[in-house]
Chain A
Amino acid sequence: DGGITQSPKYLFRKEGQNVTLSCEQNLNHDAMYWYRQDPGQGLRLIYYSQIVNDFQKGDIAEGYSVSREKKESFPLTVTSAQKNPTAFYLCASSIVGTSGGADTQYFGPGTRLTVL
């Protein structure tokens, strides 16, 4: 079964701690993305990667870090520098778009992070 998995489903963190959210895909997609979702604000892009060992900042990268050591994996670390990390985090993947627009993004089930 091809798809994207995210773990854990729910995550609780104390203030001042770093936490890492896992994202794995077996769709053989080159591009992977991390979004943050807050009520009424839609999806905001944190980081994206179009190839292994390379990634770019999105609109709200401050306080977050990523790595892309393998094509299948794109973990997101929420650092203590992120002022308001409580949110729903979504990972997505796609083939790299060609001359037109970005191709369909396929989403994982999400991780809900709560800072205590």
Chain B
Amino acid sequence: AQSVTQLGSHVSVSEGALVLLRCNYSSSVPPYLFWYVQYPNQGLQLLLKYTTGATLVKGINGFEAEFKKSETSFHLTKPSAHMSDAAEYFCAVSASNDMRFGAGTRLTVKP
């Protein structure tokens, strides 16, 4: 069985600052890893995903994440936060047709 832990239910950054959202996973087999974003009262939108190959994955809106097997981590980063990045972010792990989501991290961007 797999699981996901997102460290920090709320993260606040200033506009232009680095965004770092943390995700650690547990999986007994090589996982697929995902980051989704959710704006208020909307569904989830895929930001990026890792399946195999290059461990640094680039996604939409300037986000990227690095798969680190030794640390069982898949942290999400963006060099410079924009006001429009304010949303809730979910990390997810899947193996053998079962996807598990973290509890989410709400990102606030201060002007």
A residues sitting closer than 8 Å to B (CB atoms) are 4, 6, 31, 35, 40-43, 50, 88, 90, 92, 96-97, 100-110, 112
Taking a contact as CB atoms under 8 Å apart, the answer to whether A97 and B94 are in contact is: yes
> How many angstroms between the C-alpha atoms of A71 and B20 in the bound complex?
39
Taking a contact as CB atoms under 8 Å apart, the answer to whether A42 and B101 are in contact is: yes
The listed residue (A90, A101, A110, A112) touching B99 by CB distance below 8 A is A101
Contact with A along B36-64 (1 / 0, CB 8 A): 10000111111001011000000000000
Interface size on B, residues (CB 8 A): 27
> How many angstroms between the C-alpha atoms of A42 and B41 in the bound complex?
14
B residues sitting closer than 8 Å to A (CB atoms) are 9, 30-32, 34, 36, 41-46, 49, 51-52, 90, 93-99, 101-104
Taking a contact as CB atoms under 8 Å apart, the answer to whether B97 and A104 are in contact is: no
Interface-centre pick from B32, B34, B44, B99 (highest chain A CB count, 10 A) = B99
> How many angstroms between the C-alpha atoms of A50 and B45 in the bound complex?
21
Taking a contact as CB atoms under 8 Å apart, the answer to whether B94 and A41 are in contact is: no
